[in-house]
Amino acid sequence: MALVDPIRDAPAATADLGDETALVVADYHAGVEEQLRRDGVEIQSRGPQRRERVRSLVDRTDADRVVFLGDLGNHIGEPSGAELEELMDLEHDLRDIDVTLVPGNHDGRLGDVLDFEVANGDGVVIGSVGFVHGHSWPSEGVLEADVLAVGHEHPTVRLADEVGGSRIERVWLRGPLSADPFDDRMDSEDGPAIDGDIVVFPAFNDLVGGTWVNVDEQEFLSPFLPAASPDADAYLLDGTRLGPYWSV
């Protein structure tokens, strides 16, 4: 098994952490429907379905731990209302398993309300895998991991058909990790040894949109992407390899 192995037909992966297996989920965005309703979109909460999918993936993979790769919450400040209710229900659903939150830009106050282990904002290394949300720069230690797991970007591709129609699909980005965007940010003279791989996760929540990585005029969100993954391939959730992300 690869150190980070996408689960077929799911926007989640398993990670081999040495002495345990983790289910890794990025960009859950609890309670996002509340924001969408404020923006004029009529939509009912899909929170119960999201929670059930996480729980079913834990059981399906026999995971020992869940790693939320940032943006578990949706409101940037302290959660309230439907978002808080969903988060508390999720915590209850996962009460029998260790949970690590790698905080994202939407998770500023979650550590105050949830009994989850909260990592540093510049990431954490567990086993041989480095985890960082991706909205800010990872630490040197995280960059030295064999695989860097990243969220935040919500990568998608726009696929056109023969008659001019198109559809948007969530994708994984996977390839070698390039040191280029990190060279000027090293604290030490020599810097860390960067020779691992990078996996950019699709958003678990299908309501939050994403970066069209195969559209030239679309800018990336992360400060180190796409420079950190110039040779990455795009993969659909069903495992189909589309080739270099920029050529799809």
> pLDDT per residue over 208-246, tens digit each?
999 999 998 889 999 999 999 999 999 999 999 999 999
Q: Which of 134, 133, 148 is nearest to 72 (CA)?
A: 133
Do 138 and 132 touch, CB atoms closer than 8 A? yes
Domain, as residue range, for 56: 4-247
Residue 157: per-residue pLDDT = 97
Token duo for residue 19? 């002495």
Distance CA 84, CA 31 (A): 8
Counting every residue written for the chain, the total comes to 248
pTM: 0.94
Q: Domain count of the chain?
A: 1
Mean pLDDT, to the nearest integer, of 84-99?
96
